[in-house]
Amino acid sequence: MKRLKKVIALLVASAALLSAVACAGTTTTSTTTAAAAAATTTAAATTAAAETTAAAATAKVGVAMPTKDLQRWNQDGANMKTSLEAAGYTVDLQYASNDIATQVSQIENMIVGGCTVLVIAAIDGSSLGTVLATAKEANIPVIAYDRLIMGTDAVSYYATFDNYMVGTIQGQYIETTFGLKDGKGPFNMEIFGGSADDNNARFFYQGAYDVLKPYIDSGKLVVVSGQVAFEKIATTAWKTENAQSRMDNLLTANYATGTKLDVVLCSNDSTALGVENALGNSGDYVVGDNWPVITGQDCDKANTINMIAGKQSMSVFKDTRTLAAKVVEMVTSIVKGTTVEVNDTKTYNNDKGIVPTFLCTPVFADKSNYKTILIDSGYYKEADLAS
Ligand code: BGC
């Protein structure tokens, strides 16, 4: 970190271009919130148009992604790189194998390596404060990508999908499928949430829970294990194997004596996959017969294949191309010093203030519409989904 500080001091003192670009970024946030303002620091950004265009042409963007293990982040990274390069930027794209220290050191290298904007999908939303303080010192704007970065005033913007709406879509799907509004029930349910260190996870959970709570309260949805609170249903690191072993345990403890599991609310596809594996291994559940309704999110290939096969009922599609395009727009506005478009300035408080956010819209997906939204749109090829 000492070495980094020295280099940063040098960078700040001598790199006129870096400072011009960063300053150009600062003008864009003047109308937004304290968090954004804090990230903008002092510079008077009256860079001439010609200068900013030249700066844009040479700007280097650091893109820090959490892991290659999950399909979606590979697509996010690839889309970001392609779109940024097409817009004329140089890109430093890094994946951190879900290891926090690796991600911190990758971001340090991006700062030292002269990146003028950072786009970061955090592994642990609360572990980047120190390194991002260094970015702020060097006037490098930071865009939180998909996951909010917590506890720092160095985040300028946040781009994501409407995370609460993801949960609402899942909850409403269960409500409709089981005729809960018509008073049907009781049905047995279990809940699998995301990783507690990911700020998104509680939004997904809350969105679904707000729809389903009245039915849990009235006994029309019965969580047989009694595990309802977020802390009980969270899945560390969103890992398939963690969800699978918890489902194994739940089945043994609560459903071994003929009690039927009707529905599993899973926040995303990696957790859904674990649940599906456990149900398959149990030998007690048969697709097309007594297989439970299972929700998901991301339309990962494995899960879309399972949807087609009847092992997963739905997923929420978040087109990574849409998010990448939005972030490229944000980067360009920052570099050019024009207003950064946001559509939410109230929801996402990172404990240091509200972060101005652009929310993209998630889309319901199931067996009946996957061809239109995934194949016709070019997201997947038919062959990708062959089982
Ligand atoms: C993302 C989800 C993803 C999950 C696990 C969340 O932050 O929003 O799309 O499934 O992380 O990687």
- What tens digit of pLDDT does each residue of 138-150 get? 999 999 999 999 9
CA distance 341 to 348: 16
pLDDT number for residue 55: 53
Q: Which atom of ligand 1 is nearest to the CA of 161?
A: 8
pLDDT number for residue 348: 97
Whole-number CA gyration radius for the chain: 22
387: pLDDT confidence band, cut at 50, 70 and 90? confident
The percent of residues above 70 in pLDDT, for the chain, comes to 85
Q: What is the distance, to the nearest Å, from the Cα of residue 183 to the centroid of all Cα atoms in its chain?
A: 35
Q: Which atom of ligand 1 is nearest to the CA of 270?
A: 10
| Top mutation candidate among 67, 70, 71, 72 for ligand 1, by most atoms within 8 Å of CB | 72
pLDDT number for residue 122: 97
Three-state DSSP at 383 gives helix
CA distance 57 to 116: 12
Distance 319 CA to ligand 1 centre (A): 12
Antiparallel, parallel or unpaired: β 117-120 and 60-65 = parallel
CA distance 309 to 367: 9
The residue whose C-alpha atom lies closest to atom 10 belonging to ligand 1 is 268
- CATH fold match for the domains 57-155+319-360 and 163-318: yes
Rounded to two decimals, the pTM is: 0.86
Q: What is the dihedral of CA 18, 21, 27, 33, to 10 degrees?
A: -60
Distance 12 CA to ligand 1 centre (A): 35
Residue with more model confidence, 21 or 74 = 74
pLDDT at 44 over 70: no
Among 7-16, 41-50, 239-248, the range with the most confident prediction by mean pLDDT is: 239-248
CA distance 132 to 63: 14
pLDDT number for residue 117: 98
The percent of residues above 90 in pLDDT, for the chain, comes to 84
Q: What is the distance, to the nearest Å, from the Cα of residue 358 to the centroid of all Cα atoms in its chain?
A: 13
Contact by Cβ (8 Å): 125, 199: yes
Query: Which residue ranges make up each domain of the chain?
Result: 57-155+319-360, 163-318
pLDDT number for residue 266: 99
pLDDT at 129 over 60: yes
Distance 270 CA to ligand 1 centre (A): 9
Distance 50 CA to ligand 1 centre (A): 40
Within 6 Å (CB) of ligand 1, which residues are found?
A: 70, 72, 146-147, 194, 198, 200, 238, 268, 270, 297-298, 318
Q: What is the mean pLDDT of the chain?
A: 88
Q: Which atom of ligand 1 is nearest to the CA of 67?
A: 12
Contact by Cβ (8 Å): 230, 208: no
Give φ, ψ of 93 to 5 degrees: -100, 125
CA distance 9 to 316: 45
The residue whose C-alpha atom lies closest to atom 9 belonging to ligand 1 is 298
pLDDT at 72 over 50: yes
CA-wise closest residue to 43 among 19, 70, 9, 69: 19
pLDDT at 218 over 60: yes
- What tens digit of pLDDT does each residue of 303-343 get? 999 999 999 999 999 999 999 999 999 999 999 999 999 99
pLDDT at 5 over 60: no
Distance 318 CA to ligand 1 centre (A): 10
CA distance 235 to 244: 10
The residue whose C-alpha atom lies closest to atom 3 belonging to ligand 1 is 268
| CATH homologous superfamily of 57-155+319-360 | Response regulator (3.40.50.2300)
58: pLDDT confidence band, cut at 50, 70 and 90? confident
pLDDT number for residue 24: 32
Alpha helices (H) in the chain, listed in sequence order: 2-14, 16-27, 34-40, 49-58, 71-86, 100-112, 129-137, 163-177, 199-217, 230-233, 240-254, 269-282, 301-308, 320-336, 370
Section 45-61 average pLDDT: 55
- What tens digit of pLDDT does each residue of 156-213 get? 999 999 999 999 999 999 999 999 999 999 999 999 999 999 999 999 999 999 999 9
pLDDT at 50 over 90: no
CA distance 185 to 217: 12
CA distance 175 to 190: 14
Fold of 163-318: Rossmann fold (3.40.50)
pLDDT at 8 over 90: no
CA distance 290 to 283: 11
pLDDT at 290 over 60: yes
pLDDT number for residue 57: 59
